[in-house]
A and B are shown apart, each in its own frame.
Chain A
Amino acid sequence: MQIESQVQPAVCRLNGISKSFGDIQALRDVTFEVRKGEFLAIVGENGAGKSTAMGVLFGLLEPDAGHITFAGERRKLKSARDAIDAGFGMVHQHFKLYPDLTVLENVLVGYEGANGFGLVPFQERRKAVASLIREFEFTLDLDRKISDMPVDARQQVEIVKMLFRGASVVILDEPTAVLTPQECVTLYAMLKRLCAQGKSVVLITHKLGEVMDHSERVLVMRHGALVAERKTSETDQGELAELMVGRQIETVEKISRIQPQVVASLQGVSVQSESDKPRLDGVSIELRAGEIFGVAGVTGNGQKELVNAVMGLEKNAAGQIIFQGRDIGGLTVAERRQIGIGYMAEDRMTIGLATRGTIAENLIAGREGSSPKGAVREGHSGFSSYGFLHWRQIRDHAQRLVKNYDIRTPSAMQRVGNLSGGNQQKVVVARELSAAPKLLVVENPCWGVDVGAISFIHRQILQLAETGAAILLISNDLEELFELSDRVGVMFEGRMNRVFDRSELDAFAVGAAMSGDEEQRP
């Protein structure tokens, strides 16, 4: 695993780091170094130990064994503060920003440089931050509140914050998950510039394409161990994927079987907001049986409102939603679920699942009893009668789904919160698909899910479409949208900006539409 040739000196080195949480060994004997000025990528499935390794490096977790050296000197990191002082900066997948504070305040937090009277020299600090922003050609308004800013700008704030604190090793956890292709290009150009300045960049990701395009060296982690180290120029995506999973990955083949009949159609669906700009602005689409309609767009451009309007979670939706020839505008969530609309929510930790509930409990949600008004199955459904649960049926059902959907768990009575991300998502998939929906709304089904589970989930979605269901797939992952969708609509500022057919899909055209370019340019 040694790589010869002219090697830059190591900035820091992890030596034989092990860490376990309870019975789970998250890291076993991990040794690697970060070299000066390099672009290092760390890839691995969810739960492979990437985040734990970074937690150790960033002083958030104390290793059980092993130690870290900086410039050859052994040092103990007790907190993130130590790590920051040692020259580390980290951009977490979920930004650690105060939404109600301004850009400047967020950058300064913890590093205000207060004088002896406890006063912050704002003018001076403002100049310093502004010059840093200029240096990297960011366009950030220092006095804007974080909550008013788009995601890519928030990420820039995180990066500025890190650089302001004098980071020489920059760690980014899945930085492109929320960006358009154009924004990714900007980000990587910026990161390369950091490398050129002699700073080291550590990229944690599962997007192998980006790893191949931008990194110089790749570390592959699996089950808490470092399984391979490659020079990017000497490997390829296929090899990395295999190393990550530890076996061959089957690719998912899409067969389009679109049928003529329209399952659902949205006509001028809008959601007003308090300000003058509607959050969802006159969206009209028709979904045919067997069709997967992808929705692309930067987060916060109306996708959430669209989903909520279809599911009945949005009270103020205007316009018509027709499902199987019937206007469902007035139906509750429960009624919509009963007539065959399913929903795989993006945020499985708080919405898609009740993580403190068991697998069995989660698998019957929405079908646990009669509807509130008893619309369809009066008093009796499989899982309860007369208001009492049939635990045997519930357990049997759970065991069947655990088996059919390959949910890896010791028992169906296990808490969902104890499962890995991929298995949690399989619980959601199992619950929604076992209800045999006619229309399924899917939001970012593979967010935080490991590679093996991704292809499983994709196959399930495709199979459901083949049986004649219509699928509305909202995703931030363009690769996923392109792979699965028959058509892709791009949302921008609440409007369906453009709709692409499968044949005309192109990352840059879609990316342009995501940032607001219309089909006919002026």
Chain B
Amino acid sequence: MIRSRYASIIAPLAIIFLGVMILLAIPQTRPVVEGFLNGAFGGRNHFNLFSTLARFSILLGMAMSVLVSFRAGLLNIGGEGQLVLGGLTAALVGVYLPGPPLYVSVVALLAAMTAGASWAVLAGLLDRVAKVPLLIGSLLLNYPASYLASYFVSHPFRDVASGATQTHRIMTEARLPRFPGTILDYGILLIGATAILVIALEKTSVFGYRVRMQGYSYGFARTSGFPTGALYYRTLIISGMIAGMTGYTAVFGLNQRYIDGMLTIPLYTWTAIAAVLLAAIIPLITPVTAFFFAMLATGAVGMERSADIPREIGQIVQAVIVLYLAGVGGKMLSGGTKEDH
């Protein structure tokens, strides 16, 4: 298993690396690769690198949210709904709450985290009380969340003057500051710190230990006397909180308002799930795969500009990776009880 697990990570990376080298060596394909690299890292003053990082920030946040629940064996794929509600809540607080900027900012963050967490807990309650499997419940809860958000920004809270389906701008002083001369905001620091915390605590805390073991085997956790119910809900709460927080950084940083579809159309959550699975649910590797997917998206745009290759190719590559993961990931998630045969 160990062998195949490493192979499942290293083999595709090696193939990709080799492919890139070959493409660079052939004169006709060279501009494509250059366009891709320029799109992901280049641009004037490395503008593109910062858009990659901005995307990476949100992907990393969602990847951490997914990681926390997957590590516990909980298939919470409702990150999208939790992200959207977090973003929407943050926007509403940012637009309508009067008060000093720092206060608004903090309240918006806490409200976003609460919104994300409650949506996750709702999926958990559906699972434990009404026996709707978490996988299905959390998935289905994505839809009411995003339609609810659409409704709010198209009717009651719409910035009619702007013409688009979006809220008003949030309080200007409350928004997340940007790194000077770039479009990248401080949200990445918040998410980076969260990621470090998640990765460190997973290994060093009793909670992380219990969650991990429970993820390996629920029966084991039960007979070992772990508080399985509390672990279940706490994990979901943390997962939802991180998703909500990610929504907050997107609204208070990148866009400074909630625009309909801003968190769903780029497929952040689904890409994050792919990133976690590509990392074989290993915490330390997850940021790397999240960055890889961020690069894939922005690089594809650059490729389109310089080599006239449609950016959708990037999405097709991602889809192929997801297909591959559907095979490998299924085995990882379904538990390793039959490994040694």
B162 within 8 A of A: no
List residues of chain B with CB within 8 A of the CB of A415. Answer: 1-2
B 205-248 binary contact with A (CB < 8 Å = 1; else 0): 11101101100110111111111001000000000000000000
A 357-401 binary contact with B (CB < 8 Å = 1; else 0): 100010001101101100000000000100111010000000000
Q: How far is the CB of A498 from chain B (nearest CB, A)?
A: 29
Do A366 and B224 have beta carbons less than 8 Å apart? Answer: yes
Do B213 and A351 have beta carbons less than 8 Å apart? Answer: no
Nearest-CB residue, chain B, relative to A390: B204
Do B220 and A351 have beta carbons less than 8 Å apart? Answer: yes
B310 within 8 A of A: no
Do B217 and A355 have beta carbons less than 8 Å apart? Answer: yes
Q: How far is the CB of B264 from chain A (nearest CB, A)?
A: 33
Do B225 and A334 have beta carbons less than 8 Å apart? Answer: yes
Q: Which of B1, B2, B216 contacts A354 (CB 8 A)?
A: B216
Do A332 and B225 have beta carbons less than 8 Å apart? Answer: yes
A128 within 8 A of B: no
List residues of chain B with CB within 8 A of the CB of A313. Answer: 222-223
Do B209 and A361 have beta carbons less than 8 Å apart? Answer: yes
Nearest-CB residue, chain B, relative to A311: B223
A206 within 8 A of B: no
Do B340 and A418 have beta carbons less than 8 Å apart? Answer: yes
Do B206 and A343 have beta carbons less than 8 Å apart? Answer: no
A54 within 8 A of B: no
List residues of chain A with CB within 8 A of the CB of B337. Answer: 349-350, 355
Report the separation of the CA atoms of residues A195 and B101 in the bound assembly, to the nearest whole angstrom. 88
Q: Which of B3, B216, B221 contacts A355 (CB 8 A)?
A: B216
List residues of chain A with CB within 8 A of the CB of B335. Answer: 350, 356
A154 within 8 A of B: no
List residues of chain B with CB within 8 A of the CB of A389. Answer: 204-206, 209
B 15-43 binary contact with A (CB < 8 Å = 1; else 0): 00000000000000000000000000000
List residues of chain B with CB within 8 A of the CB of A236. Answer: none
Do B217 and A369 have beta carbons less than 8 Å apart? Answer: no
Q: Which of A336, A354, A387, A391 contacts B225 (CB 8 A)?
A: A336
Report the separation of the CA atoms of residues A22 and B341 in the bound assembly, to the nearest whole angstrom. 12
Do A388 and B204 have beta carbons less than 8 Å apart? Answer: yes
Do B216 and A368 have beta carbons less than 8 Å apart? Answer: no
A101 within 8 A of B: no
B 325-340 binary contact with A (CB < 8 Å = 1; else 0): 0000000000111011
Interface residues of B in 186-201 (CB under 8 A from A): none
Report the separation of the CA atoms of residues A283 and B217 in the bound assembly, to the nearest whole angstrom. 30
Contact A369 B206, CB 8 Å, known A354-B216, A355-B339: yes
Do A347 and B219 have beta carbons less than 8 Å apart? Answer: yes
Contact A368 B210, CB 8 Å, known A334-B225, A337-B225: yes
A481 within 8 A of B: no
Interface residues of A in 71-104 (CB under 8 A from B): none
Do B220 and A352 have beta carbons less than 8 Å apart? Answer: yes
Contact A354 B220, CB 8 Å, known A415-B2, A417-B339, A417-B340: yes
A333 within 8 A of B: yes
Report the separation of the CA atoms of residues A387 and B207 in the bound assembly, to the nearest whole angstrom. 7
Q: Which of A350, A365, A387 contacts B224 (CB 8 A)?
A: A365
Do B340 and A355 have beta carbons less than 8 Å apart? Answer: yes
Nearest-CB residue, chain B, relative to A391: B204
Do B226 and A334 have beta carbons less than 8 Å apart? Answer: yes
A-B pairs with beta carbons under 8 A, tally: 96
Do A22 and B3 have beta carbons less than 8 Å apart? Answer: yes
Do B2 and A350 have beta carbons less than 8 Å apart? Answer: no
Q: How far is the CB of B341 from chain A (nearest CB, A)?
A: 8
List residues of chain A with CB within 8 A of the CB of B1. Answer: 415, 417-418
A496 within 8 A of B: no
Interface residues of B in 116-146 (CB under 8 A from A): none
Report the separation of the CA atoms of residues A349 and B337 in the bound assembly, to the nearest whole angstrom. 6
Report the separation of the CA atoms of residues A337 and B207 in the bound assembly, to the nearest whole angstrom. 19
Contact A333 B222, CB 8 Å, known A350-B217, A355-B340, A368-B206: yes
List residues of chain A with CB within 8 A of the CB of B216. Answer: 354-357
Q: How far is the CB of A61 from chain B (nearest CB, A)?
A: 10
List residues of chain A with CB within 8 A of the CB of B219. Answer: 345, 347, 350-351
Do A357 and B207 have beta carbons less than 8 Å apart? Answer: no
List residues of chain A with CB within 8 A of the CB of B2. Answer: 415, 418
Do B223 and A333 have beta carbons less than 8 Å apart? Answer: yes
Report the separation of the CA atoms of residues A415 and B5 in the bound assembly, to the nearest whole angstrom. 13
Q: How far is the CB of B235 from chain A (nearest CB, A)?
A: 15
Nearest-CB residue, chain B, relative to A347: B219
Q: Which of B209, B217, B227 contacts A334 (CB 8 A)?
A: B227
A407 within 8 A of B: no
List residues of chain A with CB within 8 A of the CB of B221. Answer: 354
Report the separation of the CA atoms of residues A441 and B221 in the bound assembly, to the nearest whole angstrom. 17
Report the separation of the CA atoms of residues A350 and B2 in the bound assembly, to the nearest whole angstrom. 19
Do B220 and A353 have beta carbons less than 8 Å apart? Answer: yes
Report the separation of the CA atoms of residues A336 and B210 in the bound assembly, to the nearest whole angstrom. 18
Nearest-CB residue, chain A, relative to B338: A349
Contact A333 B225, CB 8 Å, known A354-B213, A387-B206, A389-B205: yes
A 325-355 binary contact with B (CB < 8 Å = 1; else 0): 0000000111111100001010101111111
Q: How far is the CB of A466 from chain B (nearest CB, A)?
A: 26
List residues of chain A with CB within 8 A of the CB of B217. Answer: 350-351, 353-356
Closest 10 CB pairs of A and B: A334-B225, A354-B216, A369-B206, A351-B219, A365-B224, A333-B225, A372-B227, A356-B216, A366-B224, A354-B217
- 25 residue pairs A–B, Cβ–Cβ below 8 Å: A22-B3, A332-B227, A333-B225, A349-B337, A351-B217, A351-B222, A352-B223, A353-B220, A354-B213, A355-B217, A355-B339, A356-B216, A357-B213, A361-B213, A365-B220, A366-B224, A372-B227, A387-B205, A387-B206, A388-B205, A388-B206, A389-B204, A389-B205, A389-B206, A415-B2
Which A residues fall within an 8 A CB radius of B? 22, 311, 313, 332-338, 343, 345, 347, 349-357, 361, 365-366, 368-369, 371-372, 384, 387-389, 391, 415, 417-419
